[in-house]
């Protein structure tokens, strides 16, 4: 699998590039709270920016001058905008943040030995089991992460289902979103939300041949096809558990769909740019792209969660088992989901925090867009997952056949 939410400066499938929106730190400095902490925000989107290779991440848990503890983090770019906040809150802690472009990159670096250089990584939830299987991460220190119990119940359940072993959780969800599809309401009529629109030519009264976009990523497009085909049982466990026969059926469906496609897109800025230019009418997408577009005046964009089920993602912070300062690392992670910092991340990425108390730090308009989420909206969702190792080879092969067709 490649990157999970590549939505800033990345290459498109035709080789062009698109640069994501940057938001100045000063633009989001809020009034000081009881602890004298300002709410800082970063750039848009939910995936990393121009990623470093992590080679200069420093020594995990190193001590700086004056007894300062340096916590080295590999994460998405906008987390760097919170550095001043967290360093002001946690006395004697200094953050050294290396941006990454994908969860796969984070895992690859740690599994190659850089788990000794980094204290914290923040991959998407579907990669956390790989970190666990490789014995790279430490269990959550519940005494330190006192905001864990403040998260939506749904995300506490996701933790139990996906990365808890022997009673120990191994990650803390930070913020989230979900994938469905968006459409141009000026050309596509109202309809019952369904993946049918992506695969059935006559589902709506509009000519959509050559007007549909799919994600250029197996981890998103294959689950959409599976849910359309009614394979929800294979989506319900800790990992996707398709049989080889099911993967063949999914492959055939996606190949059959290709003549209807305008193409495949991975980065969110490219999606937004081409949508605004009228290059497609329906796009398999994340909710945060549509929220960003509507907040910037594109009121013709509609986003829906299909009746078959949306696919939820959530960034999950983990601590290296090789870190010499695990307790301090968990203190930093706990700050990621405080109301003040959670609000900053929500504002930066148009995506809600896993801590519903963040809503108290946002305006009414912000809450309507990315703050206050009715928990019932999460109940019908399937979380983004890795593929079961028994069929991983067939899964990769199926996607390669789709792209080559």
Q: What is the DSSP string of 352-405?
A: -BS-GGGGGGS-HHHHHHHS---GGGGTT-EE--PBPGGGHHHHHHHHHHHHH-
Q: Are residues 256 and 227 in the same domain?
A: yes
Is 82 domain-assigned?
yes
Domain that holds residue 135: 68-174+312-373
Buried b (16+ CB within 10 A) or exposed e, 267-297: bbbbbbbbbeeebbbbbbbbbbbbbbbbeee
Query: What is the pLDDT, as a whole number, of residue 182?
Result: 97
Q: Are residues 244 and 299 in the same domain?
A: yes
Q: Are residues 367 and 390 in the same domain?
A: no
Q: What is the pLDDT of residues 340-362, one digit of tens each?
A: 888 888 887 788 999 999 999 99
Buried b (16+ CB within 10 A) or exposed e, 384-393: bbbbeeebee
Q: Are residues 263 and 393 in the same domain?
A: yes
How many whole angstroms separate alpha carbon 237 and alpha carbon 85? 37
Cα radius of gyration (the chain): 21
Q: Are residues 300 and 355 in the same domain?
A: no
Is 221 domain-assigned?
yes
Is 156 domain-assigned?
yes
Query: What is the pLDDT, as a whole number, of residue 57?
Result: 39
Q: Where are the alpha helices (DSSP H) in 127-177?
A: 128-133, 153-162
173: helix, coil or strand?
strand
Q: What is the pLDDT of residues 76-115, one digit of tens each?
A: 887 887 888 899 999 999 999 999 878 889 999 999 999 9
93: helix, coil or strand?
strand
Is 232 domain-assigned?
yes
Is 367 domain-assigned?
yes
CATH assignment of the domain containing 125: 3.40.190.10
Q: Are residues 228 and 139 in the same domain?
A: no
Is 111 domain-assigned?
yes
Query: What is the pLDDT, as a whole number, of residue 63?
Result: 53
Query: What is the pLDDT, as a whole number, of residue 62?
Result: 53
Q: Are residues 292 and 316 in the same domain?
A: no
* Total number of domains constituting the chain: 2
Contact 301, 283 (CB under 8 A): no
Q: Are residues 216 and 365 in the same domain?
A: no
Is 342 domain-assigned?
yes
Which pTM does this prediction carry? 0.74
Q: Are residues 188 and 299 in the same domain?
A: yes
387: helix, coil or strand?
strand
Query: What is the pLDDT, as a whole number, of residue 73?
Result: 97
Q: What is the pLDDT along the chain (405 residues), one digit of tens a residue?
A: 333 443 333 333 333 333 332 233 223 223 223 222 222 222 223 333 333 333 333 444 455 555 899 999 999 887 887 888 899 999 999 999 999 878 889 999 999 999 999 999 999 999 999 999 999 999 999 999 999 999 999 899 889 988 999 999 999 999 998 999 999 999 999 999 999 999 999 999 999 999 999 999 898 999 999 999 999 999 988 889 999 999 999 999 999 999 999 999 877 788 999 999 999 999 999 998 898 899 899 999 999 999 999 998 899 999 999 999 999 999 999 999 999 888 888 887 788 999 999 999 999 989 988 888 887 777 778 888 899 999 999 999 999 999 999
Query: What is the pLDDT, as a whole number, of residue 161?
Result: 87
Is 166 domain-assigned?
yes
Contact 213, 280 (CB under 8 A): yes
Q: Are residues 134 and 155 in the same domain?
A: yes
Q: Are residues 203 and 186 in the same domain?
A: yes
Q: Are residues 393 and 248 in the same domain?
A: yes
How many whole angstroms separate alpha carbon 86 and alpha carbon 88? 5
How many whole angstroms separate alpha carbon 215 and alpha carbon 340? 33
């Amino acid at each position: 699998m490649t990157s999970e939410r590549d939505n800033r400066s990345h290459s498109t499938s035709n080789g062009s590039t698109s640069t994501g929106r940057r938001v100045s730190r000063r633009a989001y400095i809020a009034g000081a709270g009881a602890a004298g902490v300002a709410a800082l925000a970063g750039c848009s989107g939910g995936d990393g920016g121009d990623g470093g290779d992590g080679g200069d991440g420093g020594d995990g848990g190193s001590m700086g001058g004056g007894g300062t503890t340096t916590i080295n983090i590999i994460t998405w770019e906008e987390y760097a905008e919170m550095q001043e906040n967290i360093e002001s809150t946690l006395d004697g802690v200094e953050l050294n943040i290396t941006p990454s472009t994908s969860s796969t990159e984070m895992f690859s670096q740690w599994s190659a030995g850089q788990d000794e250089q980094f204290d914290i990584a923040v991959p998407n939830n579907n990669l956390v089991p790989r970190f666990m299987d490789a014995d790279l991460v430490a269990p959550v220190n519940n005494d330190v992460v006192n905001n864990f119990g403040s998260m939506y119940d749904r995300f506490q359940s996701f933790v139990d289902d996906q990365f808890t072993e022997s009673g120990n959780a191994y990650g803390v969800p930070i913020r989230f979103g979900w994938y469905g599809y968006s459409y141009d309401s000026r050309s596509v009529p109202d309809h019952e939300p369904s993946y049918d629109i992506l695969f059935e030519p006559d589902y709506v009264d509009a000519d959509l041949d050559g007007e549909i976009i799919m994600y250029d990523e197996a981890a998103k497009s294959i689950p959409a096809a599976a849910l359309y085909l009614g394979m929800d049982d294979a989506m319900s466990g800790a990992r996707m558990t398709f049989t080889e026969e099911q993967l063949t059926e999914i492959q055939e469906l996606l190949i059959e769909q290709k003549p209807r496609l305008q193409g495949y897109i991975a980065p969110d800025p490219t999606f937004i740019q081409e949508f605004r230019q009228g290059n497609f009418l329906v796009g398999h997408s994340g909710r945060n792209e549509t929220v960003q577009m509507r907040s910037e005046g594109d009121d013709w964009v509609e986003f829906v969660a299909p009746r078959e089920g949306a696919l939820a993602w959530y960034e999950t912070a983990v601590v290296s088992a090789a870190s010499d300062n695990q307790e301090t690392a968990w203190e930093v992670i706990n700050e990621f989901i405080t109301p003040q910092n959670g609000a900053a991340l929500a504002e930066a990425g148009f995506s809600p925090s896993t801590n519903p108390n963040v809503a108290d730090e946002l305006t009414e308009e912000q809450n309507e867009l990315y703050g206050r989420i009715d928990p019932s909206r999460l109940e019908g969702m399937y979380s983004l997952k890795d593929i079961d190792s028994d069929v991983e080879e067939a899964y990769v092969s199926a996607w390669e056949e789709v792209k080559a067709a």
